[in-house]
Chains A and B, each alone.
Chain A
């Protein structure tokens, strides 16, 4: 049908076109952030700002900005430096530790940081029993924490624990909170847990101004912070949740963000070409493994495990799959961790050697199948794919399955070889700066099943005995000697493929300086040490 009089269709069309046109003029990019505000865009959101219970990276990022512990790690390494404690000594072969506190430090609510606050914080931490409390429970109880005088606090351990100081410097748990603030907001005996999810009771450089769930955390400078402020410190830090990596990159390049955490390797490469952006690329403590089920045939045969260790294209994975943002691993602990043994044997991609070893083990043409699990993370998925490629060239039928964290933990905690797949890719990040946090929870016999993380179901009494010695040894040099032997056993027994030490990638605008990455404080930032460059 033909419409007579075309004025009204033209009217509709005109309205549509004009509306679209107006949009072009109405729009405008958001206002540039003020210079003294640091906008940090991160893929995941804060879950809880409670320092005693938080255990995820986004929450710890905020916590590190608003709280302090007695000690922390120094610079970029594992050495311990004083924070709220100025000095400490150990007595009785490491069974007693005494800390002397810094005077004149205030919490954000104006009350003083003293020994009572330290005892209160640790009591609360242990009583709530969540987050990083599991790292302390083996050697510390509330009754062992004593106030000697207003600025001296003593920790009496229930058993000797070599890495005590390293655990105290950890970012998972031993933060000091204001008892006054916590008690004032306690509800139904929750020890202030509800309130602390989105408020703070700390003494750190920043204080939480607001938390908008799943959107952002706004922290403002605490003007009475004991370390003081430089003229070009950031007055405000906003951590904004932006899950999509491409969006984070665009925000940084447009100047609407100044710090981006974990850009993808592809985005990192592109950002490196932008003269207004600086990309930090540092090996970190996160190392990627392929865990083999040592209780299932034929992987219960060490020679087969050696063969599979030669079936992975390590160089190809590092250079192509990770675009150079990784380093091939040498052994079970990352190269940056003190105690790492640089003389350890390192497997290479050698299919001929793999075939020879398989033939020795009675599988000359492979002819068995494997299931490889991985979580949703890209690097795990890629590692599984690379492994599958190598295995198929050996005549091994390998299938890859993506699983959820729940399924993975379930299988590992079951300690049932039938519930575990033949192999799974995983990475590990330590809670504190000691190789024990790799070597015990992942490889000790006691770590099989609930509460542990021994996914390979590996068990070696000689290894267990060594690790037991390290537990109670306070002398670091002696621990290094123990760890060297432990690493040699693991490389020989090959319960895992040691794939790569992954890199921490952070990109900042050139207007930001002072960012320092400490692999012992992973996935967090030294906001107070960062400056803006006008």
Chain B
């Protein structure tokens, strides 16, 4: 039954992708501007611009361009960037792992800190720890990520010199051979612990800047849901049966309380993936956010479509995984 559900969701994903790409294509056609002129530069002759237009098929009617795009997409070809003339798939392959690593780190931080703090906050409700945690998470929801990023950079890099201020690796560190594009994993694969350590240090500040908001949401959700669950009858029964508090919380209550948190995490993943651009800019993190923004500003249609398609696909997959995890965590959940 679960398998049938997954297959159905995958088929729906195709329809969603078609809809998203069509809308993106249509909207980008409405934006005023000539991408060929932008790519050629203001001093380029009209003949140069026309050549560029023909080269990228921009002289054809947009429905033809869209059908052509779908044909290429079915073969995994996302076209070539008008600005750089490089395959968009290759460029996304260059930039996406950086954003993925940052996003995963931010989510990991949100879960690793947010869930325990949420649990402690719920268990020790109205204590100094609870109040501190709530203030901490309130700030997380209120503070903009770019401001936090600048503040972290100023304190931990500029003033204290504890952590690096930009980039994924230091100048003197050689990047490990790329297997996944995720530097932490690639360096472990080849056993380059120097690169691992350097990459980890570079990841700290941007991950905190990006993840703080999610951490706050996870903390608040975990706390609220755990508080609710702790008053359920089955929890009272567990206590009455003589189970230790730790067993009651981790063995019974938390599992139920985590379901809404899981939804938040899934949604946050998509949000962080698309919203990392400000943090990427501050920390010179070479991710897909900056790539997408440059594509939009330069009307680089292949880039705009490529990024939209990729991010949509990932969002759909992540949410499918969240739904499957739901069924795993809660046996009551059955998908038709």
Contacts and interface: CB of A to CB of B under 8 A. Distances in A.
Contacts of B291: 214
B45 interface: yes
A30 B170 CA distance: 6
Interface string A103-140: 00000000000000000000000000111111101000
A55 B171 contact: no
Contact of A28 (B35, B38, B162): B162
B157 A133 contact: no
Nearest to A254: B158
Contacts of B336: none
Contact of A55 (B31, B41, B170, B282): B41
A320 interface: no
B116 A27 contact: no
A213 interface: yes
A516 B336 CA distance: 72
A29 B91 CA distance: 30
Interface string A1-14: 10111001100110
Interface stretch (A86-94, A219-227, A404-412, A457-465): A404-412
B297 A404 contact: yes
A33 interface: yes
Contacts of A410: 32-34, 37
Interface stretch (B5-13, B62-70, B78-86, B319-327): B78-86
A298 interface: no
Nearest to A133: B48
Nearest to B291: A214
Interface string B86-120: 10000100110000000000000000010011011
Interface stretch (B148-156, B184-192, B257-265, B307-315): B148-156
Nearest to B239: A1
B153 A16 contact: no
B122 to A, nearest CB: 9
7 residue pairs, one from A and one from B, having the closest CB atoms: A406-B33, A451-B46, A134-B45, A30-B170, A27-B162, A55-B41, A29-B161
B168 interface: yes
B281 interface: yes
Contacts of B86: 197
Interface of A: 1, 3-5, 8-9, 12-13, 15-16, 23-24, 26-31, 33-34, 37, 39, 47-48, 55-56, 129-135, 137, 172, 193-194, 197, 212-215, 238, 240-244, 246-247, 250-251, 253-254, 256, 376, 404-411, 413, 431, 441, 450-451, 453
Nearest to B171: A33
Given A135-B43, A256-B165, A405-B38, A5 B48 contact: no
B170 A31 contact: yes
A12 B298 CA distance: 49
30 contacts: A1-B123, A27-B201, A29-B162, A29-B164, A30-B170, A30-B198, A34-B172, A37-B171, A55-B43, A55-B44, A132-B43, A133-B44, A134-B43, A193-B85, A212-B175, A214-B94, A214-B291, A215-B168, A240-B284, A243-B281, A244-B281, A250-B158, A251-B165, A404-B33, A406-B34, A406-B298, A410-B37, A450-B46, A450-B49, A453-B42
Contact of A213 (B37, B94, B246): B94
Given A27-B163, A450-B46, A451-B46, A404 B34 contact: no
A413 B230 contact: no
Contact of B245 (A5, A26, A137): A5
B33 A129 contact: no
A134 B33 contact: no
A378 to B, nearest CB: 15
B34 A244 contact: no
B153 A250 contact: yes
B129 interface: yes
Interface in B282-318: 282-284, 286, 290-291, 297-299
Contacts of B281: 243-244
Nearest to B55: A130
Contacts of B124: 3, 9
Given A28-B162, A409-B42, A247 B153 contact: yes
Contacts of A441: 43
A413 B162 contact: no
A250 B165 contact: yes
B240 interface: no
B47 interface: yes
A24 B204 CA distance: 11
A213 B91 contact: yes
B267 interface: no
B40 interface: yes
A213 B47 CA distance: 29
Contacts of A172: 43
